[in-house]
Amino acid sequence: MSKRILIVEDEASIRDMVAFALRRAEMEPVHAADAHAALVAIADRVPDLILLDWMLPGLSGLELARRLRQDPRTAEIPIIMLTARGEEVDRVSGLEAGVDDYVVKPFSTRELIARIKAVLRRTQADGGTGSLEVGALRIDGPAHRVYAGDAKVEIGPTEYRLLHFFMSHAERVYSRAQLLDQVWGGSVYIDERTVDVHIRRLRKTLEPFALDGLVQTVRGTGYRLSATP
């Protein structure tokens, strides 16, 4: 089935160029000229990925990304942000808003399609096989086992769930509250400090394999799992 890609961009010429490239790559483009139109399109049918322009009239791309991440129905949709060169400094706020990747304008459609495919591969890595890989780490989902290279990792049940969540959403930053929600199911009896405790345990578990650096603290925001230090 072809992937449905929502293009949120106010410049019709860019929208058309991207739509043309998507069709050629056998993907199905859907257009939205602003955040409102994007929300209408998403309510109609959840896309496989969103290409989101940073500078939009009305609600900005960044604000829309934040909103989508807060809604459980849309929190998992991969987002690639389209930014102008000067907006590159704001990369950090975009990553904090949960954006999966960036493409800086002007971009070649060939580069854009490659990035879209990479993000789709990464975010849908679990599709069917139940196996996830980030760097030297691998999770065998059905067997509930974690491997560092060829070595089996002994891991506690909470750390396993935490790691599984991180590996299914690699490179994305999550706040403590979001992790509580996603990994602990939003139990009101659990304190946000619990997250820190389990992050520490997870790092300790990965330390003998020199993979503890994959679990990264993002100052003032939360945590992420990244294949790059």
The encoded tokens of residue 191 equal: 């304190």
The least CB distance from residue 44 to Ca ion, in Å, is: 23
CB contact at 8 A, 143 and 129 = no
Q: Which residues contact 229 (CB under 8 A, 6 or more apart)?
A: 213, 216
The least CB distance from residue 117 to Ca ion, in Å, is: 24
Residues 148-187 that bind Ca ion (CB under 5 A): none
The least CB distance from residue 61 to Ca ion, in Å, is: 8
Site string for Ca ion, 16-55 (x = CB under 5 A): -------------------------------------x-x
Q: Which of 10, 101, 140, 196 binds Ca ion (CB under 5 A)?
A: 10
Closer CB to Ca ion, residue 9 or residue 96? 9
CB contact at 8 A, 198 and 191 = no
The least CB distance from residue 137 to Ca ion, in Å, is: 38
The least CB distance from residue 5 to Ca ion, in Å, is: 17
CB under 8 A, 24+ apart: contacts of 136-139: 136/209, 136/211, 137/163, 137/167, 137/206, 137/211, 137/214, 139/163, 139/164, 139/167
The least CB distance from residue 195 to Ca ion, in Å, is: 36
CB contact at 8 A, 31 and 15 = yes
Which residues is 224 bridged to in the sheet?
Answer: 216
Instruction: Write the DSSP symbol of residue 108.
Output: -
Stretch that binds Ca ion, among 6-14, 116-124, 172-180, 200-208 (CB under 5 A): 6-14
Closer CB to Ca ion, residue 55 or residue 75? 55
The least CB distance from residue 229 to Ca ion, in Å, is: 33
Q: How far apart are CA 212 and CA 214, in angstroms?
A: 5
CB contact at 8 A, 145 and 193 = no
Task: State phi, psi for 80 to the nearest 5 degrees.
Answer: -110, 125
Site string for Ca ion, 98-127 (x = CB under 5 A): ------------------------------
Closer CB to Ca ion, residue 55 or residue 104? 55
Helix (H, G, I), strand (E, B) or coil at 51: strand
Site string for Ca ion, 54-73 (x = CB under 5 A): -x------------------
Stretch that binds Ca ion, among 3-11, 112-120, 132-140, 182-190 (CB under 5 A): 3-11
Which residues are near Ca ion by CB under 5 A? 10, 53, 55
